[in-house]
Each structure stands twice: as structure tokens, then as C-alpha cells.
Amino acid sequence: MSTAGASADPLAALGALPGVADSVESVRRAVDRVYGHRVMRRRSNAITSEAALRGARGSAALAGADWALEEVRRRTDFSGDDEARTVGAALRLTAEAGQLLSIWRQSPLRVLARLHLVAAADKGDQVGRPRKEGEPVDEPLVGLPLPSATETHGRLDGLAGLIIAGGSAPALVTAAVVHGELLALRPFTSHNGLVARTAERIVLVGSGLDPKSVCAAEVGHAELGRDAYLEALGGYVSGTPEGVAAWIAHCGRAVELGARESMAVCEALQRGAA
């Protein structure tokens, strides 16, 4: 967010970065195509449910639990090993996200704490709050330098202030910044990636861009692959205009791929194949 300088609306300023407007428009077209499908008028709940399942699978894959969709659909017990617990956490977060939309704009930090509590499914004293100085972070797939707890708390407060203040930034820009900041900061001792991707979804749904939650960005992030995801995140963390714009474009492409996935589900339902 440092590229925004002293702008009164830093998130909106990011929308002026080269290429970002094109990404925003491309995402809007992709989302509109899904919402214009005839199946959405009759069976939108089915599309929402399927997008939630596929989004959870994608988020878990990026966290190291790359299960086949049918395995996620079939399983009822997610308490076995680390991968099973990761998939279970992703599914719980997807289910919880819709319950937190009304709280997000008033108290985003409260929502983030709740998401971590749900993901961790634990009552330990490190759960549901930002980490303290010296507490380790279990996020092995993100190898970026870890900010101090003091810096993390300050940047979380700043991010929350921007969300509460609102502004004119496109939903894609806000969602990408929320996602990028949470991954850069890793404010919790665990499950930061799962929480960050769920927060991205909350922004996209709550903003009205994807009100029925049928364009799961997590699907696209997984399809683009972990290497591309981490490379784009590195650009965001660099703080350069080019790096931040590339991260926003990456998030935009993920939303487009999520929309494409739901279009395929719509087509299958229309053919009577699902």
C-alpha cells in the first residue's frame, strides 16, 4: 500500500496503477457472464454451494493439502492427519464467511480473529488473536521475511481503518490488498493463508461484485499454481507500483478463473449432467 503515498484514499489510488483498470474491467465482464447465465436465475443456490466446495478445495491445495474435488466431497471426517485438518479448516472457513459479511465493514479485525478461531478449531491462548512478539508462525509455504509483532499490529490497524472508512476503490483492488497484507503480515500463529483467502472472498461478496459468492477466487489461485501465487505475492510485498499492480492483476485472473469454473457448472446443470 506504500505506493499510494499520501492519498486521502490509498486503495483508490492503487486503482490508477498501470494495468489495474484493465484487470478490474476484465473481472467485471467475467462475473457478469456468470450472473447472466439462465441457470443462475433458477438454481443459484446450487452454484453457490458448488463454488464454496471448490473454493475450499483450492484454498486447501495452496496450503499444502491438494486433494481431488471428489475426495473433498466424499469425506466426512477431517480430523485425521495434517492434510485432512487443513481441508477441514478450509471448509469451515467457507461456511463461516457468509455469516460475517455484516460485521466486516464495521469490525474487520473482529472478523479476522473469528476466522482464525474457526480455522484453528482450538481453544489455545494463541488462537483468535494476532501473534505476540516471539511467537512462532506455522506458515511454511510462505518464505517471505516475517514482520515484527509491533509492525504487524500497526499495519492491521491501518488496514482496518481503510476498510471501515470505505472509499471508491474497486472491489478487486480492496480484495487484493486485504489478501496481500494478511499474507505479508501473517498476523496469526497458523492458518494465515486460509484466513487471507477467506477475507478476499468476504470483500468480493460484501462489495456487491459477487453477491452470491459464485466466483471463487481460491479456485483460480490454485489453478494458477503455488509458484505463480508466491511470485505475485513477492511483488506485492516489494511495495513497487509494478509489483503491487502485478499482484492485483494476479488476483483478478484468479477471480476470472473462478467465474469460468462456475460457468462450467452452470453448463453442466443445464445439460442435466450434474
DSSP state, residue 114: H
How many other CB atoms are found less than 10 A from the CB of residue 254? Answer: 31
Task: Give the pLDDT of residue 1.
Answer: 54
Task: Give the pLDDT of residue 200.
Answer: 98
Residue closest to 178 by CA, chosen among 187, 211, 190: 187
Instruction: List pLDDT tens digits, range 107-126.
Output: 999 999 999 999 998 878 89
190, β-bridge pairs: 138
Phi, psi of 215 (to 5 degrees): -115, 75
As a whole number of angstroms, the distance between CA 186 and CA 199 comes to: 13
Structural Rg of the chain based on CA atoms: 18
As a whole number of angstroms, the distance between CA 163 and CA 106 comes to: 8
Task: Give the pLDDT of residue 7.
Answer: 57
Handedness of CA 85, 86, 89, 90 (dihedral sign): negative
Task: Give the pLDDT of residue 122.
Answer: 84
Q: Which residue has the higher pLDDT, 80 or 67?
A: 67
Task: Give the pLDDT of residue 6.
Answer: 43
CA atoms within a 13 Å half-sphere pointing along the CA-CB vector of 202:
28
As a whole number of angstroms, the distance between CA 168 and CA 181 comes to: 19
Residues 17 and 241 sit within 8 Å (Cβ to Cβ): yes
2 pLDDT above the threshold of 50? no
Q: By CB neighbour count within 10 A (0-12 exposed, 13-18 middle, 19+ buried), where does 271 fall?
A: exposed
Residues 149 and 188 sit within 8 Å (Cβ to Cβ): no
Task: Give the pLDDT of residue 104.
Answer: 97
18 pLDDT above the threshold of 90? yes
Q: Which residue has the higher pLDDT, 123 or 223?
A: 223
pLDDT band at 210 (very low <50, low <70, confident <90, very high): very high
Task: Give the pLDDT of residue 236.
Answer: 97
Instruction: List pLDDT tens digits, range 135-181.
Output: 999 998 898 999 999 999 999 999 999 999 998 999 999 999 999 99
Residues 226 and 241 sit within 8 Å (Cβ to Cβ): no
Residues 86-103 have a mean pLDDT of 96
As a whole number of angstroms, the distance between CA 163 and CA 218 comes to: 21
For the chain, give the mean pLDDT.
94
As a whole number of angstroms, the distance between CA 225 and CA 241 comes to: 23
Task: Give the pLDDT of residue 5.
Answer: 42
